[in-house]
A = this chain, B = another copy of it.
Amino acid sequence: MNNIPVKIAIMGTGMVGRAHAAKLAALGHAVMVGTGDPAATLAREEQDAMGNPPFAQWLKERPKVKLGTFAQAAEHGELVYDALSGQAAVKVLSACREALAGKVLVDIANPLDFSKGMPPTLSVCNTDSLGEQLQRALPESKVVKTFNTMNAYLQVDPEQLAGGDHAIFVCGNDAGAKERVTGILRAWYGWKNIVDLGDITAARGTEMLLPVWLRLWGALGTPMFNFKVVK
């Protein structure tokens, strides 16, 4: 699985998008990161709100990664990652609906709403989820929700914590897409404990983990932790 380069689009230039783009490019895949306005993204000279360096600096150190518009990236990717903010995801990806038709969309985004201060609340939950909103907006795409319940660095390198003895969840409506993503989690990322929660409505459950995740971050003093399901 590692030997066949895949054309991958990473939608979003934040910490999560960068972590996956770097990881997948290092594995030899053809990665294009999508952004709203590439020139503006490259022109930014400040760190972002999370203290990450300007994108141009990050990109310079990863010459194999390409940068394009959202539309160019959606066109490029045979496999597409949603690493956008939860508030932007539906709008940005809906605009790429045709280019995304038939493709697997790995949805990492969480519907965090920071507009009312800290800690963030969820802009959708309980009776719906961002994963479901995306699947409804992109009925020809195969949305698989995963990666959204731990820190970006752990997402791409689970073995750095307890030798990988902790869990990642997948859910989605398309069995083949879930199978492919599960294989990718295992072969490309080293995930061992992969729990299939069923159809995309299970995204309600994994997105609703965020509030306790945020409290645990505060209680433990580090974001480098994850849940294990003990049975």
Contacts and interface: CB of A to CB of B under 8 A. Distances in A.
B225 A202 contact: no
Q: Looking at chain A, what size class is its interface with the partner chain?
A: 35 or more
A198 B216 contact: no
Given A211-B205, A215-B205, A216-B195, A230 B122 contact: no
Interface in A123-178: 125-127, 161-162, 165-166, 169, 171
Contacts of A75: none
Contact of A225 (B127, B166, B230): B230
Contacts of A198: 215, 218-219
A96 interface: no
Q: Which of A195, A196, A224 has the most CB of B within 10 A?
A: A195
A13 interface: no
Interface of A: 121-122, 125-127, 161-162, 165-166, 169, 171, 195-198, 202, 204-206, 208-209, 211-216, 218-220, 222, 224-231
A227 B225 contact: no
A129 to B, nearest CB: 9
In order of increasing CB-CB distance, the 9 nearest A-B pairs are: A205-B212, A225-B231, A205-B211, A208-B208, A166-B230, A228-B228, A197-B215, A202-B215, A205-B215
B224 A231 contact: yes
Nearest to A165: B230
A224 B231 CA distance: 6
Contacts of A195: 216, 219
A227 B231 CA distance: 9
A160 B184 CA distance: 35
Nearest to A224: B231
Given A125-B125, A126-B121, A209-B209, A229 B216 contact: yes
B226 A227 contact: no
Contact of A227 (B122, B205, B218, B230): B230
Nearest to A213: B205
